[in-house]
């Protein structure tokens, strides 16, 4: 706080006897110390030093001289109490998260938050949007990072959007120019309840009835299955970026293939405990950083590929 810095400059001038010595001790430029005193006098609406005598205090300056050590000490005590409070908060945070964000977002978030609040306990549920929505509804978790469910009365705040990519094995010669090119293809369908996912897959199934659908419960497994079987699937771009499986992205003739990812809760998080609100704030910040880093990597790879 600037006010505390101003008080510290005043205290040091009194101790050292001159503005020059005070600036040297505080490792400030002399102009900085001078500005601190000017601001302090403006804020207090009094002169602290006699005009033309920068080392002689006015009556008001003498009064402040008596109070400054206590004011600074009180501020340091408040800072210490606040620091100790963050280390002694004993609470729990119950959250759910869909793949692959349990790997790309959660570790960084928990590492940072646990350092700040070491006594906070976490209950983490990794599952599908459908499973997490049910857990929220049954009060088993307080908030989930997932897609917008197909149905249900929830509070939902979108954080970002994911592109849905159509993928197959790098060994599959399949090329897609139109929906009809999917005739007879085998598709892995992720057993989820995401509104966007359901719409896209339902539309694809209605346009190409000959597609063979197979269900997989773990979306991170799909690329590895595809590498061996040569099947296809619609998965979020983050799955493609994260996997080491031998897959490729097919041209996608489908429109509006993006899915929303956000915070799902039973009621507004504004009414949650302060520690939960702090966690949600850090979750939003970490999510934004992770997505931004991923976009930078994609841009770099695209630039490198065409250079």
Where residue 34 sits, what CATH number does that domain have?
Answer: 1.10.10.10
SS3 18: coil
Cβ atoms within 10 A of the Cβ of 170, count? 12
**Residue 234 predicted with pLDDT over 70:** yes
Residues 20 and 151 in one domain: no
Residues 155 and 173 in one domain: yes
The confidence score (pLDDT) of residue 299 equals 57
Residues 133 and 70 in one domain: no
The confidence score (pLDDT) of residue 18 equals 87
Confidence category of residue 188, pLDDT binned at 50, 70, 90: very high
**Residue 81 predicted with pLDDT over 70:** no
The confidence score (pLDDT) of residue 168 equals 94
What φ, ψ does residue 144 adopt, rounded to 5°?
A: -135, 140
How far is Cα 126 from Cα 141, in angstroms, rounded to an integer?
A: 11
The tens digit of pLDDT for each residue in 1-24 reads: 688 888 888 899 888 888 888 889
How far is Cα 307 from Cα 295, in angstroms, rounded to an integer?
A: 18
Assess contact for 28 and 55: CB atoms under 8 A: no
Residues 128 and 70 in one domain: no
The confidence score (pLDDT) of residue 1 equals 63
The tens digit of pLDDT for each residue in 100-140 reads: 899 889 999 999 888 888 888 899 999 989 899 999 999 99
The full DSSP string for 102-171 is HHHTHHHHHHHHHHH-TT-EEEEEE--HHHHHHHHHTTS-SEEEEEPBSSS--EEEEEEEEEEEEEEETT
Residues 57 and 174 in one domain: no
The confidence score (pLDDT) of residue 200 equals 83
Residues 33 and 123 in one domain: no
The confidence score (pLDDT) of residue 246 equals 94
Q: What's the CATH number where 105 sits?
A: 3.40.190.290
Residues 186 and 270 in one domain: yes
Q: Is the dihedral of CA 151, 154, 155, 157 positive or negative?
A: negative
Q: Which of 18, 52, 87 is where one domain is finished?
A: 87
SS3 235: strand
Percent of the chain with pLDDT over 70: 90
**Residue 195 predicted with pLDDT over 90:** no
Residues 13 and 154 in one domain: no
Domain span holding position 175: 93-306
The tens digit of pLDDT for each residue in 275-303 reads: 888 899 999 999 888 888 766 655 555 55
Q: Which of 67, 87, 107 is where one domain is finished?
A: 87
Residues 78 and 112 in one domain: no
Residues 122 and 66 in one domain: no
Q: Which of 41, 57, 87 is where one domain is finished?
A: 87
- pTM here is 0.65
Worst-scoring range by mean pLDDT, 143-152, 172-181, 242-251, 281-290? 143-152
Of the two residues 59 and 304, the one the predictor is more confident about is 59
Residues 125 and 267 in one domain: yes
| Total number of domains constituting the chain | 2
Residues 83 and 100 in one domain: no
Average of per-residue pLDDT values in the chain: 85
**Residue 97 predicted with pLDDT over 70:** yes
Of the two residues 206 and 152, the one the predictor is more confident about is 206
**Residue 53 predicted with pLDDT over 80:** no
């Amino acid at each position: 706080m600037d006010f505390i810095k101003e008080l510290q400059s005043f205290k040091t001038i009194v101790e050292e006897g001159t503005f020059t010595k005070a600036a040297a001790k505080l490792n400030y430029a002399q102009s900085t110390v001078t500005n601190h005193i000017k601001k302090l006098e403006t804020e207090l609406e009094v002169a602290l030093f006699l005009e033309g005598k920068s080392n002689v205090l006015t009556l008001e300056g003498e009064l402040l001289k008596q109070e400054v050590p206590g004011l600074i000490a009180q501020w340091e005590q408040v800072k210490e109490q606040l620091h100790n409070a963050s280390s002694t908060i004993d609470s729990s945070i119950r959250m759910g998260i869909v793949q692959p964000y349990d790997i790309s977002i959660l570790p960084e978030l928990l590492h940072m938050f646990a350092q700040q609040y070491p006594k906070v306990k976490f209950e983490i549920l990794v599952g599908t949007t459908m499973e997490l929505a049910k857990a929220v509804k049954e009060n088993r978790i307080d908030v989930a990072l997932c897609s917008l469910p197909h149905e249900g009365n929830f509070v939902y705040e979108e954080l970002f959007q994911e592109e849905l990519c159509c993928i197959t094995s790098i060994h599959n010669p399949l090329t897609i120019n139109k929906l009809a090119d999917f005739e007879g293809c085998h598709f892995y369908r992720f057993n989820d309840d995401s509104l966007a996912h359901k719409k896209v897959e339902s539309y694809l199934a209605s346009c190409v009835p000959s597609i063979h659908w197979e269900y997989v419960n773990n979306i991170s497994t799909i690329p590895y299955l595809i590498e061996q079987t040569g099947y296809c699937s619609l998965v979020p771009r983050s799955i493609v970026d994260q996997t080491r499986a031998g897959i490729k992205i097919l041209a996608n003739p489908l429109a509006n293939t993006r899915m929303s990812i956000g915070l799902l809760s039973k009621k507004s998080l504004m009414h949650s405990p302060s520690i939960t609100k702090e966690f949600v704030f850090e979750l939003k910040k970490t999510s934004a950083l992770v997505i931004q880093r991923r976009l930078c990597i994609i841009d770099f790879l695209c630039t490198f590929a065409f250079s």
